[in-house]
């Protein structure tokens, strides 16, 4: 069936997860952070995701804001940055992550062509609302779906179920787009058409399914569908 619905992961796909550390590092007096911010951002993201998987497997769910804080605390300790004020600054910035430059025009083009658009994210509803409003994307999305509805993180199948339940569409009518290779693989295994936005040129994950498309950014999504 033709694609009717375009669904996007949020963090790393629509929103730049490195923006908080990068912007904080530019502030006056942040010399120590400026020297290590790329590694701190990478560690923060890595632990944030790792904790979602471990909690899902262990049946110990919490919301994404908690794992975001836990991941940052690990990254700050690894960087030997014992600075509570810096911690609070980084967390505050995470609520207003910038969208990648191509995102507004891409979503507007999809909606103009009649496609339904939405987010399916590990993020808590409050976090997602803050990011969407901060980036000015509210009018460009038909729905923002959070895993808090089902109480488990991606790639559990009940998370992907939310899309068809909400939009009333079949699996093969959905193009699911993620910058996380494991998420794109999980969605492909579920039955969505999938696009992996591989901005960093990473190797393909060795999992039970593979994404149907691999893109450098989101610019070509309207042409793809």
pLDDT, one tens digit for every residue, the chain (225 residues): 799 999 999 999 999 999 999 999 999 999 999 999 999 999 999 999 999 999 999 999 999 999 999 999 999 999 999 999 999 999 999 999 999 999 999 999 999 999 999 999 999 999 999 999 999 999 999 999 999 999 999 999 999 999 999 999 999 999 999 999 999 999 999 999 999 999 999 999 999 999 999 999 999 999 999
Query: Alpha carbon 68 to chain centroid distance?
Result: 12
* Same fold across 5-15+97-224 and 19-94: no
Domain map (residue ranges) of the chain:
5-15+97-224, 19-94
Please report the pLDDT score of residue 1 as a whole number.
78
Please report the pLDDT score of residue 57 as a whole number.
97
Give me the half-sphere count of Cα atoms (radius 13 Å) on the Cβ side of residue 101: 0
Q: State residue 146 phi and psi, 5-degree precision.
A: -115, 145
**Catalytic residue status for 9:** yes
> Per the residue annotation, which of 9, 16, 43, 63 is the catalytic one?
9
Fold of 5-15+97-224: Rossmann fold (3.40.50)
Strand intervals (E) in 60-192: 116-121, 143-146, 174-178
Q: What is the pTM of this model?
A: 0.96
Q: Classify domain 19-94 by CATH architecture.
A: Orthogonal Bundle (1.10)
Sign of CA dihedral 74, 77, 83, 84: positive
* Helices H / strands E in the chain, number of each: 9, 6
Strand order in the sheet with 116-121: 143-146, 116-121, 5-8, 174-178, 193-197, 213-215
């Amino acid at each position: 069936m033709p694609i009717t619905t375009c669904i996007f992961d949020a963090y790393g796909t629509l929103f730049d997860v490195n923006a908080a550390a990068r912007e904080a590092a530019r502030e006056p007096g942040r010399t120590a952070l400026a020297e290590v911010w790329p590694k701190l951002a990478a560690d923060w993201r890595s632990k944030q995701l790792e904790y979602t998987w471990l909690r899902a497997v262990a049946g110990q769910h919490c919301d994404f804001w908690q794992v975001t804080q836990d991941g940052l605390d690990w990254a700050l300790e690894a960087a030997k940055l014992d600075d509570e004020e810096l911690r609070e600054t980084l967390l505050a910035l995470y609520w207003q992550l910038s969208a990648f430059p191509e995102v507004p025009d891409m979503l507007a083009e999809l909606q103009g062509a009649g496609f339904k658009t939405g987010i399916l994210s590990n993020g808590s509803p409050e976090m997602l609302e803050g990011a969407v409003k901060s980036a000015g994307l509210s009018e460009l999305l038909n729905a923002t779906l959070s895993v808090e509805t089902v109480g488990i993180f991606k790639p559990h199948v009940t998370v992907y179920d939310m899309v068809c339940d909400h939009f009333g569409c079949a699996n093969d009518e959905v193009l699911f787009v993620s910058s996380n290779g494991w998420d794109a693989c999980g969605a492909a295994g579920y039955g969505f058409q999938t696009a992996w936005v591989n901005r960093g040129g990473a190797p393909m994950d060795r999992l039970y399914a593979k994404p149907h498309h691999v893109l450098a950014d989101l610019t070509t999504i309207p042409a793809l569908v």
